[in-house]
Amino acid sequence: MEIEMKIGRASIRAALALVAGAFIGASAMAQAYPSKPVRIIASTPPGGTIDLVARLLAQHLPAALGQAVVVENKPGAAGNIAAEFVAKAPADGHTLLVTASSHATNISLYPRLAYHPVKDFAPVSQLTSNPFVIAVPASSPAHTLGEFLALARARKSDLSYGSAGSGQGNHLGMELLKTMAGFDAVHVPYNGTGPVTLALMAGQIDVAIQSPPGVLPQMKTGRLRILATTGRKRSPLIPEIPTVAEAGVPGYELLGWIALLAPAGTPKDVVDQLQREARKILGRAEVASQLHAVSSDVVASTPQEFSAFLDAEIATWAQVVKKSGARAE
């Protein structure tokens, strides 16, 4: 009997040791992030600002994570191809998405998305924000935004504006300006921002909202005129140019942004770790300098802040899309 009891106690101790060992092993595995190289999926081709931000993260993250970080560009469909890919990836933090403000507008522009911009993602951080500029040809009679708005109201719908395509930020931003400033203009979509700039310089369109890096060289050579910037504050690149709000349309603001997201279900500790490291990277002076050179400001929000911001962006642009009748091409 005594022998049986000893064997029984030994068996229990062995079983408990196995359970404890398994728990410790599972806990260690859960904490061992990352366990393989991390992929950052960029929603645009190489060379643009989104790609720049993704590669800045990939350059500095390995030192903190102890694993290689690679960037894969999956452009197309206003970011939908990259977003769908990441939405369907394992929720383990090894596949991440760097994308732009189209992530908030696509749900209103595309009737059938293969993913949901909120439900299928774990928000990590809004990384940057950037204002746009309102530009006119050098031959335009308008030298200020106030003069342009007076001209636009007088000409009624006999005015045109260009965009990089239906549903793009510069399209919806102009639709918002039309509503807030009380004028009309015909939308002329182009295939990208480059053709818009060329059409503007040639006087084929009357006005356009563009990213500063694409038009500042033309402003300096006198081929374009910038009337206003669309941020809450003046751009340090062109501090002499007023904001739209300063120039006569109070409350108007249009900012592009870039953000980092993971698949929904990614462990909170992994999301928090990624956010902390991204914030440290964006806080480096040399990184901030590279971003300022392309007119981008560092944001580095928390997951909670970015989640609230994304919800607000989706709601705001849903109203603009509905009123404008914009649809993805």
Q: Is the dihedral of CA 145, 146, 147, 149 positive or negative?
A: positive
Return the CATH number of 133-229, one of 3.30.1320.10, 3.40.190.10, 3.90.550.10, 3.50.50.60.
3.40.190.10
* Burial of residue 296, with CB atoms counted within 10 A of its CB: 0-12 exposed, 13-18 middle, 19 or more buried: buried
The predicted pLDDT at position 328 comes to: 76
Which one-letter amino acid corresponds to residue 320?
V
pLDDT in tens, 205-257: 999 999 998 899 999 999 999 999 999 999 988 999 999 999 999 999 999 99
**246-292 pLDDT tens trace:** 999 999 999 999 999 999 999 999 999 999 999 999 999 999 999 99
Residues 6+ apart with CB under 8 A from 256: 100, 101, 129, 130, 131, 132, 169, 211
- Please determine whether the domains at 38-130+255-324 and 133-229 fall in the same fold group of CATH: yes
What top-level class would CATH report for the domain 38-130+255-324?
alpha beta
pLDDT attached to residue 31: 55
Domain boundaries, the chain: 38-130+255-324, 133-229
140 in Cβ contact with 152 (< 8 Å): no
